[in-house]
Amino acid sequence: MNRRTAVAVRRGLALFLLALLGQVVALVALVGILLTFLFGMIFLFPPAVRLARAMAGLNRRVVREWCGVDVEEPYLPAPPPPVPQRDGWYREGRSLYKTPRIPAFNQRLSWLMKDSATWHDLAFLVPGMWAGGLIAGAPLLLVVLGVAQLVGGTALGLVWVALAVASAPWYAPWALRSYGQIARALLGPTEKARLARRVSTLARARTEVVDSQAAELRRIERDLHDGAQARLVAVGMTIGAAEQLMESDPAAAKALLAKARDASSDALQEIRRLVRGIHPPVLAERGLGDAVRAMALDSPLRTHVTVDLAARPDPPLESAAYFAVSELLTNAVRHGGATEAWIDLSHQGTALRIMVSDDGQGGADPSRGTGLQGIERRIAAFDGVLALSSPAGGPTTVTIELPRAFEVRLPPIPKWRAITMALCWALCWIPLIPQGFVTMGFKLAGASEKAWFLALYLPEPWQWPVIVGMIALGATMLTVASVLTAQHREEGASCE
Amino acid sequence: MRVVLAEDLHLLREGLVHLLRAHGCEVVAAVESGPELLDALVRERPDVAVVDVRLPPTFTDEGLQASLAARRRIPGLPILVLSQHVEQLYARELLADGTGGIGYLLKDRVFNGEQFIDAVRRVAAGGTAMDPEVIAKLLVSNARNEPVGRLTPREREVLELMAEGRSNTAIGQRLYLSDSAVGKHTASIFAKLGLAPSDDDNRRVLAVLAFLNGR
């Protein structure tokens, strides 16, 4: 028995014990839930569910560690705590409460009850764990049975023990995988929970984006108001003064005009700086690759840029990517004490990957600086993620991935395939059910009614082959339709 | 001096035409889009072209692309590029062929008519006219460059003005130095940067720019 098998066997045994423990926990939880519904002892419901969730959580962790099956948490997001009205009371429906205790409890209760994951957990703890536990514990049970028989004097027991030991190398890993599959089916999120979570993530990202954009606009307004606008007012006033002095003191007027020219130049300078912060001109003119190259040239660091982009991403995403790189480069100069930096822009399928590394001292901490958090917020609007590796002593590497940065062009379904799919889906039931199974039923029952069942009108020796042929035809059409559909979906998924 | 002008804003175009004519230039074509510009450059073969970077129809770097295309067909065609912003990246692209006759200035520089016309003349004569802002950026990115760090403050000033494309005489006037003093400074700069000395103003400027760009 090699090491892998030994580990698998040990883990199988542990899963079996875990299943036994699960039965006990499930029993306690079920009693709590039964008491809730039979006797209205609703205060027992939340702890019972919490117990079940703890057990389910343990199973998820174990399955991830041992079976290599990743099971996401399926629960709906917890309700926000109740907010008092202006008069300090808490309203819930048509009732008012002095303290938030009862409304909070009610909210929790309905959150727990309405979440289908609560019931899926119980379904896993009782029947699911039975099945999984039996699969995982079968070798142990076999050995116990064999030993018991041997002790009882039956030589057959030896066969069971030998079978358990001989089958271990392939059975133990398979049992682990099966346990993982069962856990994933029952403990994973349902489509509804997944969507609900996605909606709440999107809502949060949207709020952050709207907030930060509003702040940005306020900043621009302030800059324009205090900067360029004020300078232009000064230019106008200076020109006015020059106009008045033109006749009486041409030399002074000339000096004033020169001043006005300088002031207008300053105003332009300000506007130029502002424009760079809003949308850098190079980005508009040349796209992300050249804009980053231009940024690298302006940077005091020795910066190496490699760009491998097939097309230009959408302008908003391009801009977010540009400012992310700009912020990272600034960070490298300001905090990292770097002298050299590497920027790599590439596309991974339809995703845009940005890698910025430097040779600074490292030790960057996203929780301390606002820079990295700002980038995360900015790219969150595009479902972007940021990964940071910055051990003390360096080097620092930040990787940003923006999914769906480049247009997804689903390959059009070839016409023949679309027609075949449609025909198969639409017509497969005819040979399969009325002309196949129903006709078979009539034939077996020996009914005299022929209705529109084709096979029954044929001469006797032809009837059975035609019925079987019809069923085979229907099944084939169904298979062809499913396979083509699955293929199409897969192609779509690989494009994403 | 025959000039082709490309600028899409009507007011600015008229202003530039007026300014150029007032200084004795003949504006042979004043166009407002990239394709028209390329056409005019190839047809008229002007002594110098004054070109805005951003032009219709794409409103990207149409003017720059048309200029580079024209210079590929007519090597050394003098072009002065105007822009609302200056980028080292564009400066490099313009200087890449190393033949000179290139200007790259911020649009604000037309405020000072004399200096602007001086830059136009310099470019027409095959020299260069780089915006002080481009040179400042170049020097910032060369800050860690060892030889540049060894220059004295005065030599740095001379280097900046030289990189902008000014002649020894112009540098002397600007810094209140005699021609021979400027000459001494430039010789010292060339020695410190390890460049081969040259008497030709234009070639000297190009060597300095190539050095600063060659990171």
If one counts every other C-beta atom within 10 angstroms of the C-beta of residue B127, the result is: 21
Helix or strand holding residue B140 (H, E): helix B132-141
Rounded CA-CA distance B99/B76 in Å is 6
pLDDT at B67: 94
Q: Where are the alpha helices (DSSP H) in A225-286?
A: 230-248, 250-278, 281-286
* Interface residue of B67, B89, B145 to substitute, partner A, most A CBs within 10 Å: B89
Between B3 and A197, the more confident residue is B3
φ and ψ at residue A97, rounded to 5 degrees:
-130, 150
Residues of B with CB under 8 A from a CB of A: 53-54, 60-61, 84-85, 87-90, 92, 107-108, 111-112, 137, 140-141, 143-144, 215
Question: Largest alpha-carbon pair distance within chain B?
Answer: 50
User: What are A174's two structure tokens?
Assistant: 């398979």
Give A 279-318 residues with CB within 8 A of chain B.
281-282, 284-286, 290, 293-294, 297-300, 302
Peptide bond into A80 cis (omega under 30): no
Question: Is A264–B111 a contact, with Cβ atoms under 8 angstroms apart?
Answer: yes
Rounded CA-CA distance A376/A370 in Å is 10
> Do B126 and B168 belong to one domain?
no
Which residue does chain A place closest to B91, by CA atoms? A294
Q: How far is B30 from chain A (nearest CA, A)?
A: 23
> Do B139 and B209 belong to one domain?
yes
Whether the CB-CB separation of B65 and B79 falls below 8 Å is answered with no
Whether the CB-CB separation of B104 and B91 falls below 8 Å is answered with yes
Question: Is B60–A272 a contact, with Cβ atoms under 8 angstroms apart?
Answer: no
Nearest CB to B141; choose among A269, A272, A298: A298
Q: How far is A389 from chain B (nearest CA, A)?
A: 27
> Do B113 and B20 belong to one domain?
yes
Work out the average pLDDT over B43-50. Answer: 94
> Do B12 and B109 belong to one domain?
yes
Q: What is the complex's ipTM, to 2 decimals?
A: 0.85
Q: Which of B115, B130, B145 is the last residue of a domain?
A: B130
> Do B180 and B76 belong to one domain?
no
Nearest to A9 by CA among A255, A231, A195, A173: A173
Structural domain for B59, as ranges: 2-130
Tokens 């009507």 label which residue? B10
Q: Where are the alpha helices (DSSP H) in A335-459?
A: 370-380, 415-427, 429-432, 439-445
pLDDT at A310: 81
Q: Which of B111, B130, B149 is the last residue of a domain?
A: B130
Tokens 């679309």 label which residue? A418
The answer, for A482 touching chain B at a CB cutoff of 8 Å, is: no
Work out the average pLDDT over B64-68. Answer: 94
Domain tally, chain B = 2
Question: Is A281–B140 a contact, with Cβ atoms under 8 angstroms apart?
Answer: no
| CB contacts, 8 Å: A254 with chain B | none
Whether the CB-CB separation of A284 and A276 falls below 8 Å is answered with no
pLDDT at A1: 56
Between B134 and B215, the more confident residue is B134
Dihedral sign computed on CA atoms, order A440, A445, A448, A451? negative
> Do B200 and B179 belong to one domain?
yes
Given the DSSP bridges, would you call strands A90-92 and B79-83 parallel, antiparallel or unpaired?
unpaired
Which residue does chain B place closest to A283, by CA atoms? B60
- Between A and B, how many CB-CB pairs are < 8 A? 52
Question: Is B84–A272 a contact, with Cβ atoms under 8 angstroms apart?
Answer: yes
Between A177 and B13, the more confident residue is B13
> Do B145 and B175 belong to one domain?
yes
pLDDT at A496: 47
The answer, for A92 touching chain B at a CB cutoff of 8 Å, is: no
Nearest CB to B89; choose among A275, A290, A339: A290
pLDDT in tens, chain A (496 residues): 578 888 888 888 888 888 888 888 888 988 888 888 888 888 888 888 889 899 888 888 888 888 777 788 888 778 888 888 888 888 888 888 888 888 888 888 888 888 888 888 887 787 767 777 777 888 888 888 888 888 887 777 888 888 888 888 888 888 887 788 777 777 877 777 778 888 888 888 888 888 888 988 999 999 888 888 888 999 999 999 999 999 999 999 999 999 998 889 889 988 998 988 888 999 998 999 999 999 998 888 889 999 998 888 888 899 999 999 999 998 888 877 888 999 999 988 889 999 999 988 888 777 766 688 888 888 888 889 999 888 888 788 999 999 888 876 666 778 888 899 889 888 888 887 888 888 888 888 887 788 888 888 888 888 888 888 888 888 788 777 777 776 776 666 555 4
> Do B113 and B84 belong to one domain?
yes
> Do B112 and B12 belong to one domain?
yes
pLDDT at A370: 65
Q: Which of B130, B159, B188 is the last residue of a domain?
A: B130
Rounded CA-CA distance A255/A342 in Å is 50
Nearest to B50 by CA among B133, B97, B117, B112: B117
| CB contacts, 8 Å: B115 with chain A | none
> Do B114 and B149 belong to one domain?
no
Nearest CB to B88; choose among A264, A269, A298: A298
Residue B204: give its domain's CATH number: 1.10.10.10
> Do B143 and B80 belong to one domain?
no
Question: Is B141–A269 a contact, with Cβ atoms under 8 angstroms apart?
Answer: no
> Do B98 and B143 belong to one domain?
no
| CB contacts, 8 Å: A298 with chain B | 88, 137, 140-141
Rounded CA-CA distance B73/B176 in Å is 42
Question: Is B141–A264 a contact, with Cβ atoms under 8 angstroms apart?
Answer: no
Rounded CA-CA distance A278/A211 in Å is 16
User: How many CA atoms lie within 13 Å of A246's alpha carbon, on the beta-carbon side?
Assistant: 7
Rounded CA-CA distance B81/A346 in Å is 32
Question: Is A297–B143 a contact, with Cβ atoms under 8 angstroms apart?
Answer: no
pTM (predicted TM-score): 0.67
Residue B40: give its domain's CATH number: 3.40.50.2300
Which residue does chain B place closest to A262, by CA atoms? B111
User: How many CA atoms lie within 13 Å of B32's alpha carbon, on the beta-carbon side?
Assistant: 8
Helices (H) and strands (E) in chain A, counts: 17, 7
The answer, for A276 touching chain B at a CB cutoff of 8 Å, is: yes
Rounded CA-CA distance B109/B65 in Å is 22
Rounded CA-CA distance A473/A82 in Å is 60
Identity of the amino acid at A261: R
Question: Is A261–B137 a contact, with Cβ atoms under 8 angstroms apart?
Answer: no
